[in-house]
Amino acid sequence: MIDSVRAWRDRLRATDPADHRGLLSVGGIRAVWTDALDALTDEALEQIASAPGTPWASAAMAVPRTVPTSPVEWCAVLLTRGTEVTLKPPSTHPGVVPLLVEAARAVDLPLAADADRSSLLRAELAVVQGGDEAVAAVRAARGDRPTLGFGHRFSVAWIRDPRSMVGLAADTARFDGRGCMSPVLALTDLGLEEAAEALGEAMAAQALALPRGSLLPEEGAALREHRARARVGGGLLAGPDWAVLVGPLPDDEPPGLVRAIRLAHADRATAAAWLAARRDQLSTVGTDDPELRLPGVRVCAPGAMQRPPLHRIHDGVDWVSLAVARPQNPWVV
């Protein structure tokens, strides 16, 4: 199967996803499409092919609307193991699912799409990425049958060097700030004026290099509200399609906003304590601090938050190990 998966990957590399961009701009979908395929290295696929254990006979995945390329890596892993895969696309837009299926058909890989929710109930393994309610509904419907559920999480950055703001802005631009790996907050022990200026310049540069896509009405309303609050309560640096919202360290999870990020000052001890207290809610932490440790959380360099390698912790789970082979006993994650 690995040769067919390589051929599938290479076909996808030659495919332009622009007509399947959904809310993203043409440049935006092309960037994340390339990122997703770049993670499918020959070495990574070979490790998956040689992993021990009995592969799943069949798997179905509910594809999230916010991160349209998320099924690329799941398909690569499962198909390499010989698993028959069905993708349930989002109800609002199929995204890149048709491209994945068409390329698989050309190289005789068992990948199909099915918009009916029942596809998630028929498969031996179900993978659900989305809101907590959607994950809970599939788990309840499947009972004790194997289900990998990835509900709501959020990501944060801890920055000590102003030069790292370039990478952080790139993380914020990917998927226009949607999805669990998108940073919603940057903590820093730099002076706030220096940090905001560096991050604002980087965000403006990203807006030119990677134009923002479309906004849903509720997203536009949320942006206007939080820009206004920042303007009167802390500070705002903004362009037509990006924003840095300066304010105090929040007590609660900051809201996810399209192409906008909150910036707050904290010393190292305060930042470490804030992150540790929310460890179970975090997806990814982007940092230039080599001493930061958060067990069970993916920690990476700024600029890599939205470009993860295939083998990694995903929302606290060693997802590749769970995807390549069936465990001996039933379980639900």
The fraction of the chain above a pLDDT of 90, given in percent, is 91
Name the domain count of the chain.
2
Q: Specify whether 142 is located in the same domain as 199.
A: no
| 332 lies in some domain | no
What is the predicted pLDDT for the residue at 332? 58
Nearest to 164 by CA among 183, 178, 147: 183
| 200 lies in some domain | yes
Nearest to 137 by CA among 91, 126, 94: 126
Q: CA 273 to CA 279: how far, in whole Å?
A: 10
Q: Specify whether 96 is located in the same domain as 192.
A: no
| 333 lies in some domain | no
Give the distance from CA 292 to its chain's centroid: 21
Q: Specify whether 225 is located in the same domain as 140.
A: no
**Are residues 155 and 285 in contact, defined by beta-carbon separation less than 8 angstroms?**
yes
What's the whole-number average pLDDT of the chain?
A: 95
Q: Specify whether 187 is located in the same domain as 140.
A: no
Is pLDDT at 91 greater than 90 in this prediction?
no
What is the predicted pLDDT for the residue at 331? 60
**Are residues 153 and 130 in contact, defined by beta-carbon separation less than 8 angstroms?**
no
Q: Specify whether 175 is located in the same domain as 240.
A: yes
Domain encompassing residue 206: 154-311
pTM, two decimals, is 0.94
Q: Specify whether 95 is located in the same domain as 201.
A: no
What is the predicted pLDDT for the residue at 92? 86
| 166 lies in some domain | yes
CATH number reported for the structural domain that contains residue 295 in this entry: 3.40.309.10
**Are residues 104 and 119 in contact, defined by beta-carbon separation less than 8 angstroms?**
no
Tens-place pLDDT, residues 162-194: 999 999 999 999 999 999 999 999 999 999 999
| 219 lies in some domain | yes
- Token pair, residue 318, equals 């060693």
Tens-place pLDDT, residues 53-79: 999 999 999 999 899 999 999 999 999
| 80 lies in some domain | yes
Helix, strand, or coil (residue 49)? helix
DSSP code of residue 315: T
Give the mean pLDDT of 90-115. Answer: 96
Tens-place pLDDT, residues 220-258: 999 999 999 999 888 999 999 999 999 999 999 999 999
Is pLDDT at 19 greater than 70 in this prediction?
yes
